């Protein structure tokens, strides 16, 4: 059984699972059969008191199921070792500091309150046996200031071809002043940008948020389109891949920006990136640029907040997605509680 199939079996033991998208292509240049990288996208945790006080339409989805998933991933990781390696990432916006408080939180009290309110889930996510890797998103960007979170990254490079980042950089990277252009590219390097760089970039991170209150929506006012889903199987065939030039423009969000910025990073750092893994948009999909001279893939892992729908069913469904990458194959699953 492959690591992909082992993961699927474990998910099906605790959830109803739909296959949102699958891409299997040797041009991903990520052939390692003994590795599986698993991505948990945006969760946007706030306290129950703040959810009510702020009058927010959306709280995080299916948190009980998410905790089960995290614990299952820990067991999966430990069972796979030492022959194989399973690496789990939470790729940003675990906390929603923008909704929990207004402005800068100088003492990290908002993060502490959120942790206390979701202690069981966060204990599972930060379990040493899971050893999850964490990214800073835009809604929890300020966590870099505090000792419990200052090891969190802005990007990961999965050599030789994959960049993992939250995705918010695509909201503002083209508006960077000239003196910060290199810092923007640094986000695509294998190293952390460091506290000084993060401090300089903080105003740019906050600017797209403006004075938004995020009461009715965070990213998507309407359910995010995700194409057609199907029941998962072991066939390994491509499914629901959004190809540039064929797919609707709304299914290609950030594909061009990710491709261009990874190309710039390749020139700057001598890397060979041809795939980006992101969250941020709350729209689960795999999109590709595929021409005779260039192949690039965007794996957008979705979210655990707001809603989505499918091409053949407009009914809103809570986003509850997880993605996996290994052996030149990427998959996105939608999960729902068994009962």
Domain ranges of the chain: 3-337
pLDDT tens column, 105-120: 666 688 899 999 999 9
Closest CA relative to residue 303, chosen from 206, 202, 173, 166: 166
pLDDT tens column, 164-199: 999 998 887 666 666 566 666 666 765 555 677 777
Asked if the bond preceding 82 is cis, omega within 30° of 0, the reply is yes
* β-sheet with 224-225: strand ranges across: 224-225, 307-310, 313-318
pLDDT tens column, 291-327: 999 999 999 999 999 999 999 999 999 999 999 999 9
Please give the share of the chain, as a percent, with pLDDT higher than 70.
91
Q: How confident is the model at residue 35 (pLDDT cuts 50, 70, 90)?
A: very high
- Mean pLDDT, to the nearest integer, of 58-77? 98
pLDDT at position 274:
96
pLDDT tens column, 204-219: 777 766 567 899 999 9
Please give the share of the chain, as a percent, with pLDDT higher than 90.
72
Query: Could you give the C-alpha distances from 301 to 20, 77, 115, 306, in angstroms and in order?
Result: 10, 20, 24, 14
- Mean pLDDT, to the nearest integer, of 78-96? 97
119 contacts: CB under 8 Å, gap ≥ 6:
none
Q: What is the CATH number of domain 3-337?
A: 3.60.21
pLDDT at position 103:
60
Q: How confident is the model at residue 283 (pLDDT cuts 50, 70, 90)?
A: very high
CB atoms under 10 Å from CB of 192, counted, come to 19
Query: 167, 154 in Cβ contact below 8 A?
Result: no
What global pTM score does this model have?
Answer: 0.95
- Mean pLDDT, to the nearest integer, of 62-90? 97
pLDDT at position 176:
65
Closest CA relative to residue 164, chosen from 219, 226, 229, 87: 87
Higher local confidence (pLDDT), 72 or 98: 72
Is pLDDT at 241 greater than 60 in this prediction? yes
- Mean pLDDT, to the nearest integer, of 55-80? 97
For β-strands 241-243 and 307-310, DSSP reports them as unpaired
| Mean of pLDDT over the chain | 91
Query: Which alpha helices (DSSP H) does the chain contain, by range?
Result: 3-12, 48-54, 63-80, 97-100, 109-117, 119-125, 169-172, 181-186, 194-206, 255-269
Alpha-carbon distance of 111 to 144, in angstroms, equals 12
The number of residues in the chain equals 339
Q: Is the dihedral of CA 57, 60, 65, 69 positive or negative?
A: positive
Closest CA relative to residue 300, chosen from 215, 231, 225, 206: 225
Alpha-carbon distance of 98 to 211, in angstroms, equals 10
Residue 142 three-state SS: helix
Query: 141, 93 in Cβ contact below 8 A?
Result: no
pLDDT tens column, 137-158: 999 988 888 888 878 888 899 9
């Amino acid at each position: 059984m492959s690591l992909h199939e082992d993961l699927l079996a474990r998910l099906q033991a605790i959830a109803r699972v739909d296959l949102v998208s699958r891409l299997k292509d040797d041009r991903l240049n990520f052939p390692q059969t003994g590795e599986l990288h698993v991505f948990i996208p945006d969760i946007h945790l706030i306290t129950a008191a703040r959810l009510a006080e702020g009058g927010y339409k959306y709280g995080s989805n299916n948190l009980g199921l998410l905790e089960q998933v995290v614990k299952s991933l820990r067991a999966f990781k430990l069972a796979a070792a030492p022959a194989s390696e399973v690496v789990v990432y939470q790729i940003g916006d675990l906390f929603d500091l923008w909704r929990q408080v207004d402005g800068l939180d100088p003492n990290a009290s908002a993060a502490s309150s959120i942790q206390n309110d979701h202690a069981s889930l966060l204990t599972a996510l930060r379990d040493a046996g899971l050893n999850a890797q964490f990214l800073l998103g835009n809604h929890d960007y300020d966590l870099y200031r505090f000792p419990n979170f200052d090891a969190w990254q802005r990007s990961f490079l999965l050599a030789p071809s994959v960049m993992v980042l939250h995705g918010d950089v695509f909201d503002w990277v083209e508006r960077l002043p000239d003196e910060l252009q290199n810092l923007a590219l640094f986000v695509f390097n294998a190293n952390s940008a460091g506290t000084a760089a993060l401090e300089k970039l903080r105003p740019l991170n906050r600017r797209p948020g403006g004075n938004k209150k995020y009461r009715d929506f965070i990213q998507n006012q309407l359910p995010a389109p995700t194409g057609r889903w199907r029941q998962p199987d072991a066939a390994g065939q491509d499914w629901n891949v959004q190809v540039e030039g064929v797919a609707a423009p709304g299914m290609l969000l950030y594909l061009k920006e990710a491709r261009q910025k990874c190309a710039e990073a390749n020139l700057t750092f001598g890397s060979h990136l041809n795939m980006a893994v992101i969250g941020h948009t709350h729209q689960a999909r795999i999109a590709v640029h595929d021409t005779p001279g260039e192949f690039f893939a965007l794996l957008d892992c979705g979210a655990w907040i707001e809603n989505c729908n499918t091409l053949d069913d407009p009914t809103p469904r809570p986003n509850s997605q997880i993605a996996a990458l290994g052996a030149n194959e990427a998959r996105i699953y939608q999960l729902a509680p068994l009962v």
